[in-house]
Amino acid sequence: MLAQALVDSGCDGRVATFELNPENADIAGKNVKAAGLDEHVKLQVGDRRQLIEAALQNEIDLHFAFIGASHFYDEVTVEFELISPKPAPDALVLFDNSYRTEEDGKDPRVKALSGRS
Ligand SMILES: C[S@@+](CC[C@H](N)C(=O)[O-])C[C@H]1O[C@@H](n2cnc3c(N)ncnc32)[C@H](O)[C@@H]1O
């Protein structure tokens, strides 16, 4: 979807994505190819904690990031810190820190946002 948005908006750029599970990566790669977007997506199989740093060394600017591998606050924070040296001034970084943290009672801000006490 992100790659299609790049194409549709006429932006010159590409999507770098990282997947730990080879089966998931295989499905994702097939979907990207079926959508005709393979030249706009670089899919790497492995742990994003190792791959992001290396990938960012080769990129000029980071304009958008979606942090979606984990919903745990600590892991989102680690990933945010990995990308933090690189965002362009107008960069948008999205993540969802959701149900798991609330269920575990680890992040009171999630409860605050959902209006529960
Ligand atoms: C919650 S799913 C989200 C998938 C996708 N972001 C989406 O929104 O549809 C998390 C995915 O991240 C992968 N993942 C989990 N830990 C990872 C890691 N350390 N490095 C790379 N991928 C990871 C999982 O295998 C899984 O496919």
CATH code, domain with 30: 3.40.50.150
| Structural domain range at position 16 | 2-114
CB 79 within 8 A of CB 107: no
Residues lining ligand 1, judged by CB closer than 6 Å? 18-21, 24, 47-49, 68-70
Ligand 1 atom at shortest distance from the alpha carbon of 49: 19
Q: How far apart are the first and last CA of the chain?
A: 36
Q: Digits of tens for pLDDT over the chain (117 positions)?
A: 899 999 999 988 899 999 999 999 999 999 999 999 999 999 999 998 889 888 888 766 889 999 988 877 778 888 889 888 888 888 999 987 655 555 566 656 555 555 554
Q: Buried (b) or exposed (e) across 104-113, using 16+ Cβ within 10 A?
A: eeebeebeee
Q: Evaluate whether 83 touches 93 at the Cβ level (below 8 Å).
A: yes
Q: Of the residues 19, 43, 67, which should be mutated to test ligand 1's pocket, given the most ligand atoms within 8 Å of the CB?
A: 19
Domain count, the chain: 1
